[in-house]
Every structure is written in structure tokens, then in C-alpha cells.
Amino acid sequence: MRRGAEAIFCSIPARIGLLGNPSDGYNGQCISSLARNWRARCILTPHENRWDFSITIICGGETMEYKSLADLAENQPDLSEDGISRLVLGALIHFQEDCVASGLAIEASGFKLELDTDIPRQVGLAGSSAAITAVIRSLLTHHGLGTALPPHAVADMVLKVETDRLNIHGGLQDRLPQAYNRMLHMDFREELMVGRGWGAYSHMDESLLPKMWLAHGEKGEESGKVHADLPGRWAEQDPVMVRVINELAWCAHRGKEALVSGDMVALSNEINRNFDLRTELFGEETLGVNLEMVRLARSLGSCAKQPGSGGAIIGLIPDDEFMERAAPAFAEHGWELVSLEMS
């Protein structure tokens, strides 16, 4: 991200859930990194006239205009319709209201905000989080608050936009690597989350990662729908869920050790274990085509799991010929195979 004389540019990559998901919402552990193949990009251009408080929003093929940011917050549009514009509007409204509620002084100023993204939608790459993070980061920089909030607080603001404004429900880890712009090991144990409101987040060197691939379909199912019954099961301390969540957290713990030691066999085993536990948690019917694609990847010699809750899977590239032999196999199912850019 940079602030020039005329415009503020912010680019946020997609997120890859490597291990531990979905234990992050239930006091577990996760490792997540960034896939720089895809990004959400925001350009915020301040008006030359400092007394022009109007805002123009360009995204998703739409152009929207408001008298001011405060006017947008006071006359809120319908945010229930699916699409990228509601992500931008929800972020703008929340930013304005949160600053007012917290007593954070922001000077009224107008701007044009443009957002575009090439992150595949609803395939588990935290595309919504990336778009909202790009908008929030741009607004913070525009108002001279670029370093006022630590990364975990930025991630929390993005989470509140998704859950409180847009009714998008997912795990806690989605937006954290995007806010830190790093691969992270994240520990969400209860004493931290209750005691201070955020977990223990440690940077991991992306150079530890082996070569990885991702395959995805056109569009999966919104993560909130996939996770819908988990909070109730957790509240009731469903024994299967409690056991699976604990074992998923251990997948992340052992995966961190495997990465640090360079043991790719152990890492592959944890990736497979993660998906098998996920299958036990959600059931084969819920996983649908993802289960079929994981089985395909494993038959081709790779480990495989989902990076989130949508229609995509990831794995380690086991040999030099894998991409060549796997691409047509996935293409037969309408899925695209790509090599991940993670450093």
C-alpha cells in the first residue's frame, strides 16, 4: 500500500487456510498464508477541493454517489443483495460509525473509491475479507490513521463488518494473514480470547512452504451456510465436535513443527488428516464435490484439503509431473488447477 500525491493504493491477496481450520472459531489453532495469484485492489482518490465532501464508489460495474460518508451512514442502502458493492458499502458505513462511536476524530473529506477483485468467489479464499480489508486500510491511510490500529485490530474491524453489517459468518483466521500481510500461526485458546480479545499470532517465514497447488470450481457455497450449525453444536459441547476441534488444533501444531523442520511427509500427513477430520465434522454430503476432488487429488499422488469452506482444494506438488497430469483430470470436472504464489 502506498499514498501518493493524488491516490491511495491498497492490494490485499487471497488467504489460504493451510492447517487447523475450522478450529479457529472454537479456541483452536490454525496456520494460514497468502495466495498472491489473486488480489482485491482498492484505489482511493481524494477530491482536490477540500470542501467537496461527496464520495463516489465504483465497483462491480456500478457507480454510486453520496453527499458524504456521514450521509451514507445516515441513509444506509439495502445491504442484503449479494455482490461486491455491499462489501464496500458495509465497510464504509462501519468505518464511519465506528469512528464516531469510539470518539476517533476523522476530518470530513470527499473521495472517489474504486475496488476490483479477481479472487474467485465463494471458494474459500477469503475474498470478502480481502475486499473489506482493502477498503478499511485505504480509509485509515486517507485519514492519517494508517498506524493507529495494530493489525489484529484491523482484522477485528473487518470481522465486525462481515458479521454485524453483512451477516457473513466464518472463522476468525480469515482476515488475520491479510491484516498482517504474512503467513501466521494463530492460537485462539480461550484464556487469550476471553482475557484480552485476541489470540497469539506468530509470523512464519513463507520460504518454509513447499511448492503448492490449488484447484477450484466456478463458485462454491457461502462459508456462513456451511458453518451454520457449528455454533449450536459447540454450545451444547457435542462430543464429536469437541474431539474433532481439538484434533484439528493439533494438526496445526504438528504442521508448524513439520514446516520448521522441513519434514514435508509429515506436513502432507497433517493436510490429509485435516480434511479427514473436517469430513467427520461436516459429513460427506455437506462436502459434496469437494470430497470428490480431494479423492481425485489423492489418486494422483498428492495430499489435499480445503483452504476454507468453499469450492476449492489445495495440496503439495509431489513431483515435477504432477501439474501436467493433474490439470486435465481436474478440467474434466470443470475445475481449474494453478500453482500457488505464496512468497
Average pLDDT value for residue range 233-241: 94
Residues 236, 180, single domain; the answer is no
Please count the residues of the chain: 343
Residues 146, 264, single domain; the answer is no
**Mean confidence (pLDDT) of the chain:** 93
Q: Domains in the chain: how many in total?
A: 2
Write out the three cell numbers for 134: 482493502
Residues 42, 150, single domain; the answer is yes
Give the domain extent around 149: 2-20+30-184
Residues 142, 257, single domain; the answer is no
Distant-in-sequence contacts of 117-122, Cβ < 8 A, 24+ apart: 117/38, 117/39, 117/40, 117/41, 117/84, 118/38, 118/39, 119/14, 119/38, 119/39, 119/40, 120/38, 120/216, 120/218, 120/219, 120/312, 121/219, 122/219, 122/220, 122/221, 122/222, 122/223, 122/310, 122/311
- Catalytic (active-site) positions: 174
pLDDT 10s digits, 129-177: 999 999 999 999 999 888 888 999 999 999 999 999 999 887 789 899 9
Instruction: Determine, yes or no, domain membership for 104.
Output: yes
Whole-model pTM? 0.93
Band of pLDDT at residue 223, cut at 50, 70 and 90: low
Band of pLDDT at residue 225, cut at 50, 70 and 90: low
Residue 1 has a pLDDT of 46
Instruction: Determine, yes or no, domain membership for 193.
Output: no
Question: DSSP string covering 47-71, please?
Answer: -SSTT---EEEEETTEEEEES-HHH
**Measured distance CA(264)–CA(259) in Å, rounded:** 7
Residue 268, pLDDT > 50, answer yes
Q: Which CATH number goes with the domain that contains 249?
A: 3.30.70.890
Residues 249, 317, single domain; the answer is yes
**Contact of 312 with 288, CB cutoff 8 Å:** no
Termini Cα distance of the chain: 17
